[in-house]
Amino acid sequence: MTLGLNIGFSFILSGFISTVTVLGVNTSLSFLGQASYSSIARPTWAAIPLFMLMGAFCSSGGLAQLAYRGAHVLARGIPGSLWIATCISSGVFGAISGSSLATAALFGKIALPELNRFGYNKSISVGVIASAGTFASMIPPSIMMIVYALFTQQSIADLFAAGIVPGLLTIIVYSALIVIMVKRRPEIAPSAEQEAEAIADTSRAKALFDMWPIIIIAGIVLGGLYGGIFTPTEAAAVGAAVSLVLAVSLGYMTRMSQLNSALNQTARVTAMIFLLTVGALYYSQVMAITRIPITLTNYLVSFDMPPTVLLLMICAIIFVLGMLMVPVGIYALTLPIVVPLLVEMGYDPIWFGVIALKLIEIGAVTPPVGLNVFAIKGVIPKAMNISMGQIYKGCMPFILADLVVLGLLIAFPQIVLWLPNLLN
């Protein structure tokens, strides 16, 4: 990875070299073929491109813009209302997208011109958009939760349920932070009165009504999933179909180029995710053959170390890796070792899935990599002249807010486990 090799190929190459030293060339080639096929030859994997397609239809079809305009009106009168609207609408779009990068890139296009027009601080604006994009990883349906479930053989529905309360809690904490920041430094945002006057012609009731397509899509997907009507894959397929029908019937998707754009975007991102995941899962199977995870787990358990200390060490490792690697790679390197260890020590794997995802969310906006930061940098018009340093600076208050939420989730596991336990 340091040499710049594609991360998926890095996993495949290092795994292949490892197996050659143990099994020989011919057996290693056979194992590579079987592992690559078996990694994704399951119906559950179809949920990933289908959820991404659902988000792409809503993006290309203009349904995400409806959510943004509606959230702005609902937040009218609150200090920093357009930043809060960005947080809320990113959470709403996350409920139909599942992709953190896609959400950050989309709202970079939708929200940034509006924020700039109203005179919001540019650095904090891009920080809000990049940070709020991470809600899509936590609020179901989440692609990274599906990947975690496939790595650890946990229930996708339980993981989805576990992410709802932490996701909503993060939106609330972000919104409270924005209000405090604007009250302490009024110059970073227009006054609530000025902004309210600009959108006074739309009532809150109408704004909420205008968001009905997004609410219906999320309701069908999550209601069908938790009602036992759909499997995760079927929920994704139905969601994609309903998104397309609504976008076309409401007149938001009127050109074939919009459909082609959605399909092309889904295909490209799916190919990238699947290459990463195949390489990562192959690497984790190689690790299992070497028995390194089992040996290391037994070794760590033999230490007379309090479970809390070990948990914090694991969190620190994932946090550091989150600054340097993509999430699938982090899962491949850590989950085969840490999940059996944590289960042995009495921790719930569903709860840890949310903790690991929260750490990865923080890494998505933390230097030196921060994938969401790169995503938003790619859609910022050059005329705005915003540097990477300004984006990272704008993210810092929200990184601190995420750390507060993380501390609450670790200290009070029932925040995560209450809803899955209730549904079961």
pLDDT per residue as tens digits for the range 38-60: 777 777 778 878 888 887 888 77
**Would you state the pLDDT for residue 199?**
61
For residue 396, name the pLDDT band (cuts at 50, 70, 90).
very high
Give dist(CA 124, CA 396) in Å, integer. 9
Q: How far is CA 122 from the centre of its chain?
A: 23
CB 79 within 8 A of CB 124: no
**Would you state the pLDDT for residue 195?**
65
Shortest CA distance to 88 belongs to which of 170, 194, 180?
170
**Would you state the pLDDT for residue 200?**
58
More confident residue, 299 or 215: 215
Q: How far is CA 303 from the centre of its chain?
A: 35
Residue 393 in this model has a pLDDT that exceeds 80? yes
Residue 415 in this model has a pLDDT that exceeds 90? yes
Cα atoms found within 13 Å of the Cα of residue 371, Cβ hemisphere only: 20
Give dist(CA 289, CA 19) in Å, integer. 8
Write down how long the chain is: 424
Q: Which amino acid is at 393?
A: K
> What percent of the residues of the chain are helix, what percent strand, and what percent coil, each to the nearest 5?
80, 0, 20
Within 8 A by CB and 6+ apart from 348, the residues are 413, 417
Highest mean pLDDT among 136-150, 184-198, 251-265, 393-407: 393-407
* Angle value at C-alpha 92, between 91 and 97, nearest 5 degrees: 90
**Would you state the pLDDT for residue 353?**
94
* Angle value at C-alpha 362, between 319 and 268, nearest 5 degrees: 105
For residue 61, name the pLDDT band (cuts at 50, 70, 90).
confident
pLDDT tens sequence across 185-210: 999 988 767 666 666 566 667 777 77
In the chain the first and final C-alpha atoms are separated, in Å, by 42
Residue 63 in this model has a pLDDT that exceeds 80? no
**Would you state the pLDDT for residue 257?**
87
**Would you state the pLDDT for residue 198?**
60
More confident residue, 125 or 1: 125
**Would you state the pLDDT for residue 169?**
94
Classify the phi-psi angles of 119: left when phi > 0, otherwise alpha if psi is within -120 to 50, otherwise beta: left
For residue 82, name the pLDDT band (cuts at 50, 70, 90).
confident
**Would you state the pLDDT for residue 1?**
66
For residue 293, name the pLDDT band (cuts at 50, 70, 90).
low
Within 8 A by CB and 6+ apart from 145, the residues are 137, 156, 159, 160, 163, 353, 357
**In whole numbers, what is the pLDDT of the chain averaged over residues?**
83
For residue 135, name the pLDDT band (cuts at 50, 70, 90).
confident
Highest mean pLDDT among 140-154, 182-196, 200-214, 402-416: 402-416
pLDDT tens sequence across 342-363: 888 889 999 999 999 999 888 8
Percent above pLDDT 90 for the chain: 18
Residue 305 in this model has a pLDDT that exceeds 90? no
Give dist(CA 87, CA 228) in Å, integer. 30
Highest mean pLDDT among 63-72, 104-113, 239-248: 239-248
Query: What torsion do the CA atoms of 177, 180, 186, 190 make, to the nearest 10 degrees?
Result: 50
Domain ranges across the chain: 43-423
Shortest CA distance to 178 belongs to which of 88, 52, 293?
88
Which pTM was predicted? 0.78
